[in-house]
Amino acid sequence: MDATVVCIDQTKKSVQIELRAAWFPRGTRPSVELSGQRDWTCLLGAITEDGDRFFSRFTEYITADHARHFILALCAEFEDDLIVVLDGAPYF
């Protein structure tokens, strides 16, 4: 069987604030309030043995519905017979 092998994995990345020095008028003490909370994004990605890549970004935790839509989009993208390698994530 001639098929494309695709490995899928997920990662969650924080979007952090980058503090920088700035100029302010003399005699003022401006401050920036930081909540300590950070934005984040989830990425669900696939890579083939040839190095072709396919990614989707989500602003919420990945669910079985996200995974199903991603795999269907993956099939449409590559249009070949696929062997999909999944890890033990609960959404798969």
Number of domains composing the chain:
1
Contacts of residue 36, defined as CB under 8 A and 6 or more positions apart, other chains included, come to none
> In CATH, what number is assigned to the domain containing residue 86?
3.30.420.10
Indicate whether 29 belongs to any domain.
no
Per-residue pLDDT tens over the stretch 5-56: 999 999 888 776 666 666 777 787 776 666 555 678 899 999 998 899 999 9
At residue 70, the pLDDT reads 94
Report the pLDDT averaged over residues 74-85: 88
At residue 41, the pLDDT reads 85
Indicate whether 79 belongs to any domain.
yes
Query: Does the model's pTM come out above 0.95?
Result: no
Instruction: Determine the distance from the C-alpha atom of residue 80 to the mean position of all C-alpha atoms in its chain, rounded to a whole number.
Output: 24
At residue 79, the pLDDT reads 81
Indicate whether 4 belongs to any domain.
yes
- Tell me whether strands 53-58 and 82-85 are parallel, antiparallel or unpaired: unpaired
Indicate whether 24 belongs to any domain.
no
What amino acid occupies position 13?
K
Indicate whether 9 belongs to any domain.
yes
Indicate whether 27 belongs to any domain.
no
Sheet of 4-15: strand order equals: 53-58, 39-48, 4-15, 82-85
Indicate whether 1 belongs to any domain.
yes
